[in-house]
Structure 1
Amino acid sequence: MNAPQTRPSPSVNTGDTWQSPKHKRTVYLVLAIVGLSILFDGYDLVVYGAVLPNLIADPSQIGELTPAIAGTLGSYAMIGVMIGALSAGAVGDRLGRRKVMITAIIWFSIGMALTAFAQSIFMFGLLRFLTGLGVGMIVATGGAVIAEFAPRNRRNLFNAIVYSGVPAGGVMASVLALLLEDTIGWRGLFLIGASPLIFLLPMALLALPESPRWLVSRGRVEDAEALVVKHELPARQFLAVETTAPQQEKAAAPADEREKALQRTGFAALFSRAYLPGTILIGAMSFIGLLSTYGLNTWLPQIMQSNGVSADNSLYSLFALNGGAVLGGLFASWMADRVGAKKIITVTFLIAAICLFVLPIPLPAFVMYLLIGFAGIGVLGTQVLTYGLASNYYGTSARAAGVSWVAGFGRLGGIFGPLIGGLIISAGFGPSSAFYLFAGVAVIGSICTALIPRSPAEATVVITSHGDSPEEPALNKRDDQAPLNRS
């Protein structure tokens, strides 16, 4: 029998505290890598809108752009994000989180660089679509990485930090366009989007380890134990194996269905009988959240002008909406780590519905922007929490597929949101109808959230060295899912 390896004692850490400075440093480096990746994903998605007026005004850049063609080009990236996100789930649960993250960083960076040299509308659109594939891979895989490295009592907060990179990247794109577009042009702005290839890729290669929990789920226990020792990670958290729930929690599905779901990988697990109700409801949440997010971000200034607000002041509505999403989303995520994401998302959807329902009423400017900020918490901020809920609802073998489902299926809402807003405005129904529609959608989102059943997965500790017996009995506590699925 081989001698036992020296590794952190499972009794030292329960997933709520740092086991050592090296453990803390490793997790914060992972947080930085994923956060920067999603920051540049947000930059990529918004920089096109920032440079679009100049592309339309100057046909010598890539060709004659009509508003219809410009809108179609904008949708290509979104379609790429949807396909990339859905694909990353199946790939990530089989090949590993690290490989997908590194591939995605390379992919979208090269895509941005090549787009900077596009000379035709066709090539520009094709490269936007291909770049979107890499963006989708990052958005889908990032949540799985954070869920498997973050301390149990900070998973929602860490997810909120990294996914707030999407609106933060949009702000970065807008600011850099204002400051630099006259100097370096739109091509230079796209080259900035390719800069992760220079600094983020080396950082990921050096500091982003594979997930030990994923290794355990694939039967590579020795490799997982080696990473736990190398990075001084808590064995109780990182060498956990999922099994069926204890007897008192088996009402949601038969034991054999739970076992089958936990043994399956990727989308096969998501659409198994045990996971299917939660999969449908979580997908609906994401669809509704992104429908509201992209619908309001596209049409809110126009709706506000139709409601009597000046053109200049209407632009501040977007700052209020996104600012509320970032600040309020972080606070909501902090609360979700204490009372459960399901409760918080249900409430934030309802807050958004109330605020949107009240907005058509004539109000002082301060109150109006405050309501828009709270609405931002309920739509954009809620979407951040939805990624976190999904990444912890599914077991390790299906986690990347679960986040991919949220990111990919939700993008359909992102495509339909602007279309629905445009139809309402073009039909002449007025701003009140638009606000009431988005308010009603938020109510549906709250209902979907409240109906999500308890996850069939449960973490159980199995900590072994090669040839040894388990050192720790199974945990009775739902160590993996409890913070996300409390009722």
Structure 2
Amino acid sequence: MKTEQHRTTDPRHRSTLRWVVAIATAALLFDGYDLVVYGAVVPVLLRDPSQIGALTAGQAGALGSYALMGVMVGALIAGAVGDHIGRRRVTVAGIVWFSLAMGLSAFATDITVFGILRFLTGIGVGALVVTAGALIAEFAPPHRRNVYNAMVFSGIPAGGVLAALLALLTSGNDGWRALFLFGTAPLVVLLPVALLRLPESPKWLLARGKAARARRLSERTGVPLPDAAADKAEENAKVGFAALATRRYAPATLLLGLMSCSGLLLTYALNTWLPEIMGQSGFGKSYALLFLLTLNGGAIVGAQIASRSADRLGPQWVIITTFVLAAVSLILLTVGLPLAVLLALVAIAGIGTIGTQVLIYGFVSNYYDTVARAAGVAWCAGFGRLGGIGGPIIGGALVSAGFSPRHAFYIFAGVAVFGALVTCFVPRRAAAVTPAPALSVPGPVTGDGASVMAHE
């Protein structure tokens, strides 16, 4: 009997996994693009009332939070339906929804309309975040899930880098509209690929009692299935959010939500307000956007390195370490240091904030079983967005109140310490119902006589 680790050498599985990773990464790239593009255009909107109206720093922070409220709603909706209707449908719907709302934002001429469209954009983003984590957990081999998860969720800071680069290239006060119009690109370049190449998860089909379809899809894609007894236990278990309230998951679910809340508060606060804070420290627009580039670039590189450690050592202690790195680097940013050192500290802060959130999504995706996975990630993304919503608002309140950048960084460092402490108390993953030995899902016979069966 082939083990799942052996089955990863199957060329069909490798090909399927490459397509899933590429599509999920591209989808989350535009999540990161949407996040950072708003922070990049905030200085323009604050200084030019002819764009969407006279905007205060407090209103700008509120506008930044509207998209995050949308993400929370979208994540919770996707979590409620994703474990019931499947990963593929939610992903396709999220791509279409996000692209249309992002494109319409380019034509907004007043604050109210712009705010509504930011909220609607967030709904599509939330759906994509939830399903991306579930897809990787169900298509990637267990011993490489943190690495593949980091690849996919590094699309978020990569999108931030793209937004910062395009913001540097655009000129004129109306350039921000072109940046938002670029957000419609997934309709042309990503949606057709997703429709052609993104399969439904065989493990989800099996967990929902659709064994025949699951076996056929497993044979076509090479994705191994869990054994029959384990699947039967999942099929009879509570599904979606109902599973999160069980004794097995409830304590961890609360702590994982607080972890995500801390990580997303730091992620959205820094991406929204770092250009403005550094501008108040005496750096011009180009330098301020350079800090934004460095923050997200550091997150991309750091998440890849940290994810390999997470696969070897387990994600929990790696996340604690990156939270601590964030706190230390943010405190050191308050010291008058040369530009090169400041950039290095911003890169480390990117690892400890955005990079930490990448690791958290991987941790959560693998913590839950198939029947509760989308709901678990939705809780992480949805409840966590309360922190994301608070990040831009806190930053806006500090800027409006005239606080120095030093005070803002101290507050954000305290959030990082809180995140590290919460992570310490997450219980070990509860063992699933123990299946009977030597049972497997029978599958169609291949040319060499091997049936499609593998243990998860």
Structure 1 length-normalised TM: 0.82
Kindly, what percent of the aligned residue pairs are identical?
Answer: 53
Instruction: Tell me if structure 2 keeps the 8 A contact 1:84–1:135.
Output: yes
Shift of residue 45, structure 1, vs aligned partner: 2.9
| 1:436 equivalenced with 2:410 (yes/no) | yes
One-letter code of the match for 2:207? Answer: S
Alpha-carbon distance between aligned partners in 2 of 1:227 and 1:321, rounded to the nearest angstrom: 41
- 2:190 counterpart (191, 200, 204): 200
| 1:128 equivalenced with 2:105 (yes/no) | no
| 1:385 equivalenced with 2:359 (yes/no) | yes
- 1:226 counterpart (206, 216, 223): 216
1:136/1:72 Cα in 2 relative to 1: closer, same or farther (>3 Å)? same
Match of residue 28 from structure 1: 18
Match of residue 321 from structure 1: 295
Match of residue 169 from structure 2: 179
Q: Counterparts in 2 of 1:41-190, with a 5 A limit?
A: 41-54=31-44, 62-180=52-170, 185-190=175-180
Instruction: Tell me if structure 2 keeps the 8 A contact 1:216–1:241.
Output: no
372-381 vs 62-71, which moves further: 62-71
Match of residue 425 from structure 2: 451
Match of residue 287 from structure 1: 261
Shift of residue 414, structure 1, vs aligned partner: 1.2
Match of residue 7 from structure 1: none
Alpha-carbon distance between aligned partners in 2 of 1:168 and 1:99, rounded to the nearest angstrom: 25
Instruction: Tell me if structure 2 keeps the 8 A contact 1:147–1:391.
Output: yes
Residues 100-146 of structure 1: CA distance to partner in whole angstroms, max 9, x if unpaired? 00111111122223333445443333222212111110011111011
Structure 2 length-normalised TM: 0.87
83-92 vs 127-136, which moves further: 127-136
| 1:400 equivalenced with 2:390 (yes/no) | no
1:222/1:242 Cα in 2 relative to 1: closer, same or farther (>3 Å)? closer
Match of residue 30 from structure 2: 40
One-letter code of the match for 1:210? Answer: E
One-letter code of the match for 1:198? Answer: V
Structure number with greater CO (CA < 8 Å, separation at least 6) is: 2
1:269/1:50 Cα in 2 relative to 1: closer, same or farther (>3 Å)? same
Match of residue 465 from structure 1: 442
Instruction: Tell me if structure 2 keeps the 8 A contact 1:390–1:403.
Output: yes
Match of residue 203 from structure 2: 213
Residues 319-358 of structure 1: CA distance to partner in whole angstroms, max 9, x if unpaired? 3322221111111012111111112111111222233334
1:233/1:473 Cα in 2 relative to 1: closer, same or farther (>3 Å)? closer
Instruction: Tell me if structure 2 keeps the 8 A contact 1:217–1:241.
Output: no
Match of residue 314 from structure 2: 340
Alpha-carbon distance between aligned partners in 2 of 1:200 and 1:161, rounded to the nearest angstrom: 17
103-112 vs 64-73, which moves further: 64-73
Q: Which runs of 5+ in 1 are unaligned?
A: 1-10, 245-258, 480-487
Helix, strand or coil at the partner of 2:230: strand
Give the count of matched residue pairs: 447
1:104/1:340 Cα in 2 relative to 1: closer, same or farther (>3 Å)? same
Residues 243-301 of structure 1: CA distance to partner in whole angstroms, max 9, x if unpaired? 88xxxxxxxxxxxxxx89x8111111112221011101110100011112222334445
Alpha-carbon distance between aligned partners in 2 of 1:295 and 1:457, rounded to the nearest angstrom: 37
- 2:230 counterpart (238, 241, 261): 241
Shift of residue 396, structure 1, vs aligned partner: 0.3
1:141/1:473 Cα in 2 relative to 1: closer, same or farther (>3 Å)? closer
One-letter code of the match for 2:136? Answer: I
Match of residue 253 from structure 1: none
Helix, strand or coil at the partner of 1:194: helix
Instruction: Tell me if structure 2 keeps the 8 A contact 1:242–1:457.
Output: no
Residues 205-256 of structure 1: CA distance to partner in whole angstroms, max 9, x if unpaired? 111111011111111111100001111233458x783588xxxxxxxxxxxx
Instruction: Tell me if structure 2 keeps the 8 A contact 1:462–1:473.
Output: no
Shift of residue 57, structure 1, vs aligned partner: 5.9
Instruction: Tell me if structure 1 keeps the 8 A contact 2:37–2:163.
Output: yes
Instruction: Tell me if structure 1 keeps the 8 A contact 2:35–2:271.
Output: no
